[in-house]
Structure 1
Amino acid sequence: MSCNEDRILAGYVIETPLDPAAVAEVMAGEQSCGTFTRVAGETDELRARARATVESVRPLDEADRPSLSNAFLERRGVQGPWRRARIEISFPTANIGANLPTLASTVAGNLYDLGEVTGLRLETLRVPAAYRAGFDFPRAGIAGTRRAVGLPEGALVGTIIKPNVGLSAGQTAELVGRLCAAGVDFIKDDEVCADPAHAPLAERIPAVMRVVRAHAERTGKRVMVAFNITGETDAMRRHADLVEREGGSCVMASLNACGYSAIQSLRRHTPLALHGHRNGFGALSRHPLLGIGFQAYQTLWRLAGVDHMHVHGLRGKFSQSDAEVVEAARDCYTPLARGSARDDTVMPAFSSGQWAGTVPATWEAIGRDDLLFMAGGGILAHPDGPAAGVASIRQAWAAVRAGVPLAEQARQAPELARALAFFGSR
């Protein structure tokens, strides 16, 4: 079902020993105008105007045991089988307004605690164009990020500051200088390094931007640095202002740790590109019958106005399957609402164990290079140094765009050959 002009459509997978259709009605009532019983003032007119509506219920499989414990059902001696179903519920936009925390509370709030379910996961979230227009849009997105780094085509090759923590502001700047000289397009702080005592942002931002500006003056190459300014809202705004004054183009925030309101406040305050880091998403997504799927997750954060979204990487070091990574990237390329007058697509950031050898799988799956291809060890651990690491990745992208196997390309690309020999044997 597509969105009506005045309704938000949420898709769930549920598990219950009860009738899934009846449980869906409970969900709709609980998250709109109802509770476990009809109350005074809950008139037919009010229900017609404000109640959520069950749009579909599609049975799936059954299980012999529940996925999650449930004291409510245990007290009542309710037994299985535990039925699973996909359901869609639509919510009136008028119930919520352009209020992102309340939207999240409506579609992904107390539902997880319902006594009727032994599993519940929000999978999809669709919003109508008029509703989407009431929220923030990316300031840079794909096209703006390309303009900021002066790269109209080709994958943006990026890396992460390593060691993650421990470097002083001066040492960080020195490493950034080496990475700029190596030819990267994008550098970001690690998510665990924001404003540490050994490299406070007040010192690190000016130190890093001095070498970034010097590199640009020397070569004409503008490297985008995503400074991790995760913190209290006023501090994030203050640090974003410092990045802007120093000539920077991007800031990064840990989305789950900061929360919707803080990210909205940051977006509205700064014109800089906002790099959205999803660390902690695994806690929300890894169980197939609990939490939230990436399509719904990225919808909420894109309504906050981020420009880049992490999707992890193909054949990477984390738990996500390649199929999940590919689907997440495609979600980033998909407009949130059909018929929207503005482009709200965002740039996916591929990371986690990426190197030249993972480029073919990425190209084959995505078929485009509007992405951040971020390699930490794949650049910094290249046996011939960071410049060779960057070169190997660019050589791999050139090969896949030309339809040439990496082994063949490596015959005339020594950096790629060394990468294949070094990383491919690990």
Structure 2
Amino acid sequence: MPRSVPGRIKASYWIETPLDPHRAAEAMAGEQSSGTFLKLARETDELRDRHAAQVDSVTQLTTADTPSLPGAMPGEVYHRANITLSWPTINVGTSLPNLMATVLGNLTELRELSGIRLSRLALPDEFLEAHPGPRFSITGTRQLTGCNEGPLIGTIIKPSVGLTPEETAELVGELIEAGIDFIKDDELIANPPYSPLAKRVPAVMRVINDYAQRTGRKPMYAFNITGDIDEMRRQHDLVVEHEGTCVMASMNWIGLASLQALSQHTSVPIHGHRNGWGLFYRSPSIGIDYPAYQTLLRLAGADHLHVNGLGSKFAEADASVIDSATACLTPLLHRSERDDRAMPVFSSAQTVHQASNTFKALGSTDLIYTCGGGIMGHPNGVAAGCRSIRAAWAAAASGTPLGEHAHQEPDLEVALRAFASPFSG
């Protein structure tokens, strides 16, 4: 994220328009501040001076013969450009929902635009400082898990749905005995009748707490408490009552305001799942780029944020995955006394194969590396699966080729044969 801009909110976009891009940018600025479709008497020069959005820059790119999105004004050619607009902070105060209504809002429906993506947000210090952000971040997550170096090796409860509380607890017992650092509910299970949190939380935490008493090590379990605000608060309290150390929510479906309310209530980290993210990134012609999106979720209080994974089963390009993770690890406020980073969570068909490239591309082990099938599908069981993933990351950190390191790590050797190469390069 760019350094903060004193006094003004800045938003950068990619746009496509049948108009001259400068004219389109002016229409965007007017629509999202003091202007409307006609001149009004009360839109005085003084009011515009105080509240009007400004066009800070326009950089023309390529052109296209046809519009990317339907409904735009007709034109002979469609111009593509990068633009930046800015607003005085007084227009929105420090409200995250109203920030989004201002910087995106009606822009996605303007007939002047045949394509628009919000790519970056640069927020002034007074806006950033008004939001506590992640309460635990990377440092707090490491303290709670006792995992002080390397990635947190994690997994997801599989099958995603259908296990009873007792069956879930039995699987958790196998995983923690195997040495896992982090376990999460799948996003498809929250509080269903066959496995209500009122039963799943005590069953799972009984196993984890017994293990912690015996070993002094307490893996983290992220319980999916997605629901309305009151429900999430109740379920959070249930998790804490049973000495749980993490809750999870589906960010896109609870919304920014609910995430903020949960963050103000919580005493454990919030694991932010971004299911539904494809709505924002899969079309290059409309949506939000992750650097802007994750800024909002961090300000609202997410401690961990999903970024997909390299060579995953999903459509997102590997370069975009790394850009997303890098954005999560980039401070918003450049002040040492407050850690406002979010721990990136790599997932989706991750196995031993992607560890080395992930480390090389990101240059950090401040991450959670979650493998469902990549651990539980190991031919020699979940313990061997955990050991194989740790061995792959040890090889990555030392710069040793996987095949070479596998000569002294039999579980890794088996995993290399058992799991196919990643879906993409």
Return the letter of the residue paired with 2:242.
E
Match of 1:327 in 2: 323
Does structure 1 residue 224 correspond to structure 2 residue 220? yes
1:10 and 2:6 aligned? no
CA contact (8 A) 2:307 2:345 kept: yes
Alignment of 1:341-380 (within 5 A): 342-380=338-376
1:147 to 123, 128, 143: 143
d(CA) in 1 for partners of 2:47 and 2:5?
A: 19
Answering whether residue 97 of structure 2 is matched by residue 96 of structure 1, we say no
Q: Distance in 2 between matches of 1:152 and 1:341?
A: 19
Question: For residues 232-311 of structure 1, what are the structure 2 equivalents within 5 Å?
Answer: 232-311=228-307
- Counterpart among 158, 168, 191 of residue 187 in structure 2: 191
Determine the C-alpha separation between the residues in 1 that align with 2:159 and 2:100.
36
User: C-alpha displacement at 1:131, in angstroms?
Assistant: 1.2
After superposing the two structures, state which structure 1 stretch, 115-124 or 341-350, moved more: 341-350
Q: Distance in 2 between matches of 1:61 and 1:201?
A: 53
TM-score calculated relative to the size of structure 2: 0.97
Deviations 1:187-241 (A, max 9, x none): 0000010001100011111111000101111111111000000011100000001
Q: Give distance in 1, aligned partners of 2:336 and 2:112.
A: 37
Give identity over the alignment, percent.
52
Please report the TM-score for the alignment, with normalisation by the length of structure 1: 0.97
What is the distance in 2 between the residues matched to 1:137 and 1:79? 44
Question: Post-superposition shift, 1:338?
Answer: 4.0
Partner SS state of residue 206, structure 2: helix
> What SS is found at the alignment partner of 1:276?
strand
CA displacement, residues 77-131 of structure 1 (integer Å, 9 cap, x when unaligned): x322100000000111111112111011111211000010110110111112221
Amino acid at match of 1:416: L
How far 1:54 sits from its partner (Å)?
0.6
Q: What secondary structure is seen at the aligned counterpart in 1 of 2:296?
A: helix
Within 5 A, what are the aligned runs for 1:125-204? 125-204=121-200
Q: 1:151 to 1:340 in 2, by over 3 A?
A: closer
Say whether the 8 Å CA contact 1:123–1:295 is kept in structure 2: yes
Q: CA, structure 1 residues 338+24, in 2 after alignment: closer, same or farther (shift >3 Å)?
A: farther
- Is 1:206 the counterpart of 2:202? The answer is yes
Give the C-alpha shift of residue 137 in structure 1.
1.5
Partner residue of 2:313? Answer: 317
**1:334–1:425 CA distance, 2 compared to 1 (3 A):** closer
Counterpart for residue 25 of structure 1 = 26
Q: Secondary structure at the match of 2:63?
A: strand
CA distance in 1, matches of 2:75, 2:264: 51
Deviations 1:59-90 (A, max 9, x none): 010001110111x52xxxx3221000000001
Give yes or no for contact 2:9–2:86 (8 Å, CA) kept in 1: yes
CA offset digits 1:167-192 (Å, max 9, x no partner):
11111111111111111100000001
The one-letter code matched in structure 2 to 1:134 is A
Match of 1:108 among 91, 99, 104: 104
Question: Within 1, Cα distance between the matches of 2:377 and 2:83?
Answer: 47
**Aligned-residue offset at 1:342:** 2.0
- Please say if residues 348 and 372 of structure 1, whose CA atoms lie closer than 8 Å, have aligned partners that are also in contact: yes
What SS class does the counterpart of residue 235 from structure 2 fall into?
helix
Gaps of 5+ in 1: none
Of 406, 411, 423, 2:419 maps to 423
Asked if 1:84 is matched to 2:80, the reply is yes
Counterpart in 2 of 1:123? 119
After superposition, give the CA deviation of every residue in 1:330-379 in whole Å (9 maximum; x if it has no partner): 00011124458522111000000101111011011011100000000000
State the Cα RMSD in Å: 1.3
Partners in 1 of 2:224 and 2:4 — Cα distance? 36
Detail structure 1 runs of 4+ shifted over 3 Å in the superposition.
Answer: 337-341
The answer to whether 1:401 aligns with 2:397 is yes
1 CA distance for matches of 2:155 and 2:3? 39
Query: Within 2, Cα distance between the matches of 1:53 and 1:387?
Result: 58
Q: Distance in 1 between matches of 2:157 and 2:21?
A: 49
Contact 2:5 2:122 in 1 (8 A): no
Give the corresponding residue for 1:38.
39
Q: Which runs of 5+ in 2 are unaligned?
A: none
CA contact (8 A) 1:184 1:390 kept: yes
Please state how far the C-alpha of 1:309 moved relative to its aligned partner: 0.6
Q: What does the per-residue CA deviation read over 1:239-260, in whole Å, with 9 as the maximum and x for residues that have no partner?
A: 0011111101100000011011
Distance in 2, matches of 1:341 and 1:395, equals 34
Q: Please state whether the residue corresponding to 1:284 is helix, strand or coil.
A: helix
Q: Tell me the number of residue pairs that the alignment of Structure 1 and Structure 2 aligns.
A: 421
Q: Tell which deviates more after alignment, 336-345 or 157-166.
A: 336-345
Q: Distance in 2 between matches of 1:341 and 1:65?
A: 51
- Quote the offset at 1:40 in angstroms: 2.3
Is the contact made by 1:128 and 1:337 (CA closer than 8 Å) also made in structure 2? Answer: no
